[in-house]
Every structure is written in C-alpha cells, then in structure tokens.
Structure 1
Amino acid sequence: MKLAILGYGKMGKTVEEIALSRDHDIVYISSGQLDINELKNADVAIDFSIPEAAFNNITSCLENGVAIVSGTTGWLDKYTEAVDKCKSESGRFLYASNFSVGVNVFFELNSYLAKMMSGLDEYGVKLKEVHHLEKKDAPSGTAISLADQIIKETSYKSWNHPPKNDETSIDIEAEREAGIFGYHDVTYDSDIDTISISHNAKSRKGFAHGAVVAAEWILKQKEGVYSMKDVLQLNSPN
C-alpha cells in the first residue's frame, strides 16, 4: 500500500512506525499545506492532523482519488459536508473518533448498557475523559461518541461540557494530565449503587495500529463512507 500521512506529530510518527512494520510504503508526509502532486501518489491517506486542517485534508484527498482515513477530532461540524463530498466524488472515506480495537469494543458495550439502563430512571449517567496535555479539543471525540450512543438509546436530549447538572443532559468531565494516552469512564449512579465501565489506553500504538488496519481495509472497498464498525465487523447484541 502506498500511504500518505497527514499530520506528522506523535500520532503520525507512530502510524509511520506501524505502517513500515507492515511493509507499506510511505510516499508522502505533510504537516502543513498539501502538495497535491505528491498526495496523488498515495493509495490511501491517514489523517491525524489538527481540527483546522482536517476538513481540507479530507476533501483534497476525495477530489484527487485518494482514499482517506481520518482520526482527527474537533472538526465534526463539517462531517456532513465531508460525507456529501465523498458521495459526489465517488470516493472512499472512513472517520473514527478512536481507532483502537479495544475502544470500539467499548463502544459496543456502552451502547448495549445504555439500552439496558434506558428504563431505569433512578440512575443518572455521567462521563469522564482524561487525555494528555497536548490534546487540543475537549471533550474528546471518543467521549462525544459515547454520549451520542447513550442519547440514541435513552431519554437524554444532549450532552454538556462543562457539566451543568441538567437532568435531561449528560455531563462530560474532561481533564488533561501529562502522560495519559486516553481514559474514558461511563458511570450510572443511583442512591443504592453505582455501575461503571471504563477503557484506559496504555500507549498510542493501539490507535495507530487500528488506523493502519482501517487503511488496509478501505483500499479493498468500493466507494462509500465507512466506520471502524465496518472494519471490525462489530455488532451489538440483540
């Protein structure tokens, strides 16, 4: 696979390491303005850039026949536009708020637990996420995905950050600490007991590995918009 890496920070460098270990060719690396002629040499681009650059990176890939796998968060106000662009260009686009296999299993657990808790009004739910100091967006894209899953399955209407203690919304607490790669906790609390599920990432390698696996997978697909659920063939229990 001929791979472009868009965003060459710590995640981009880890993606490079994983991709090379899997015998892929890195044909283009960018941390700034794109060189379209160089970008066109890639079969697939993996984007771990910054929120301000992500949408342009995605649309540029789609316009130039390069499949794009994006893990950048903080730009999702333009996600619908990216999907429309993918369809109009007959491209291949995969976005994930988190590429970790473990986190995607965690998503499935979260969705299933929310279904179970939906009729138990005595429990209130809250989310907490902790990341490294360099992470710019808060709450994390993963925390937002978790909240959106709960909203879909329950009577909650929205999420709040910072917390507001609104009974119709899910409070999300976000902290930034040195050396934390990603911690997420979902807690249902009542006067009687507490139920919680959590995921703790031990390194960046899980995210990078998942992104490279997603790039390998999307290269074999026809045009369309995909997610890690497609890649991993995960299905929530009935």
Structure 2
Amino acid sequence: MLAKSIGYDEKRAAVLDMSARLHDIGKLAVPDVVLLKRGKLTPTETEIIRRHALEGCTMLTDILASAESIMGSGRSSEDQTLRLAAEIALHHHEWWDGSGYPRRLEGEAIPEAARIVAIADTFDELIQTRPYHEAATIDVALLEVMALSGKQFDPKLVIAFKDVIQSIQVAGGADLDTLKGVTRKNTSTLAKANQIIERILKSPEAQYARAKALEPASTTQH
C-alpha cells in the first residue's frame, strides 16, 4: 500500500511485496532463547539479534546463486525478487539519522525499498502481540511511527504512510484486519522463504535444467 501510494506500479509493488516477506529470514539463525526472550537483552544478545540482517542477506544471496546455477543469470522471474530481498534484509534496520545497523547508512543512502519495509515492519511489530509486548492500537502504533520521523524513518515516507493508514480508517478500516494479522497468511519466516524457494525450484526453467542434467552424456564416434 505504501509503495503504491508513492508511485510504484503494480508489477514493481508486487516484487517489493514478495521481497519484503523475507526481510527477517536471518532470524532463522538466531536461537529461540534470544529471539523470544521476554526481558531486556544483554549486550551479547543484542549483537546476536543484530546479526540477522547480515545473515539474511547471506542466505538470500546464496539462494540466488543456487538459482542462477540452475537457470542461468537473469533467466528466472524470481531473480529480481531475491536480489531485492537480499538488499532489504541487509538494510531494513538502517536508520534515517545514520544510527542504525549493520552499516550505519544515512538518509537516501539507504535503499528506498528498505526504508519502506522499515516503516511497515515497525508498524506491524507494534500492532502484533509478542512475547515481550502487548499489541498496540492502530492509532497508538501510527503515533509511534510518526514520532520516529527524521530519526529512524524517512520523513516523506512517514507522511505517505500516515495518509495510507488514515485513508483506510476513513474508508471503514477493512484492510486494517489484515494489518493486525486477522486474515494474514504465511506469517512464518520459514514458510515465506520456502514458498519463494519452491517457486524457483518448480519453475519451467529449473525443471528444464534438471532434465538436461539427467540426459546421458553424448559420445563422439571416431
């Protein structure tokens, strides 16, 4: 919704939507005892959590490399999704003021897709019930996002996001059920990853490549 509101066409928004689903795939490398801890994290635990950005980028880059070895570079429609997903995974915790991680990028040096996902991810986190906090209302979550404008988030994107949420509320709030997870599908990070990987492996290009690989090697008569 936010992407479309700032001019993304259907195709570009769809690629971003699919890529964004994998932004936290690196958390698969984080032990549950740390990931689900209710209390305050120790400095060591905080560092472990923060590694998920690099871990996610590495995972997705490796998946892309495997896909390209099967189908060839640029031949799969999923290539673009995986490349963008890796970029988002790496940068979605970079902050507008340069105090984020892992590379402390600042302002527009942060890829736009990651800036969009950062806002949506924080809002989603606020309105969900987690082991370490209760769900916030839509209005409270929106106020918290707006309070981080210019610090954590791109100010222009925050304004656009506010307009999107408020327009949904004015229209009756039907889509807010999805935002709050009532009708959300594929909430598991692993499920999201598997869904995209399965699409790659079941693509016509991948099946053709496997069939060719199984053909008997040709021999030359002398």
Q: TM-score range by the shorter chain?
A: under 0.3
Q: Which has the higher strand share?
A: 1
TM-score, normalising length: structure 1: 0.26
Q: Which has the larger radius of gyration?
A: 2
- Considering fraction of residues, name the structure with more helix: 2
